[in-house]
Amino acid sequence: MVLPIGTGLFGLVRLERVQPDACPDKRGIMMTDNGKIRIGIARCLLGEKVRYDGTHKLDRFLRDTLGQYVEWVPVCPEVETGMPVPREAVRLVGSDGDIRLVGRTRGKIGRPACASGG
């Protein structure tokens, strides 16, 4: 299991990636061979320019300080679902179990695959 840090289009991300060099400790936490805990983090927080406007949100404390003690697993749900960089800023809007992507300028964009079970 990888613990999440960061938010994005789909909120906090829970990752369960099995890596050959990682195994759960007695508490079930995925550890690398060097004893570091694997933690999911938004790619933009590590300085990657994947945000909607083509920028990043580098957090030097996370990257430089905390990064000495953990192994980051960078993720960007927007990019990983095929959205381009740069792109229209979007947010999830939902009621009664109907979740849709809504853009700032174009309005409703569609339903994310994860929201419809597919």
Mean pLDDT (whole number) for 47-66: 96
Q: Kindly write down the DSSP assignment for every residue of 51-101, as one continuous string.
A: STTS-----HIIIIIGGGTEEEEEE-HHHHTT--SS---EEEEEETTEEEE
**In which band, very low, low, confident or very high, does the pLDDT at 56 lie, cut at 50, 70 and 90?**
very high
Percent of the chain scoring above 70 in pLDDT: 64
pLDDT the model gives residue 10 = 44
Domain ranges of the chain: 3-82, 88-118
pLDDT the model gives residue 75 = 94
pLDDT at 110 over 70: no
Q: What is the mean pLDDT of the chain?
A: 76
Q: Which residue has the higher pLDDT, 35 or 49?
A: 49
**In which band, very low, low, confident or very high, does the pLDDT at 17 lie, cut at 50, 70 and 90?**
very low
Query: Is this prediction's pTM over 0.95?
Result: no
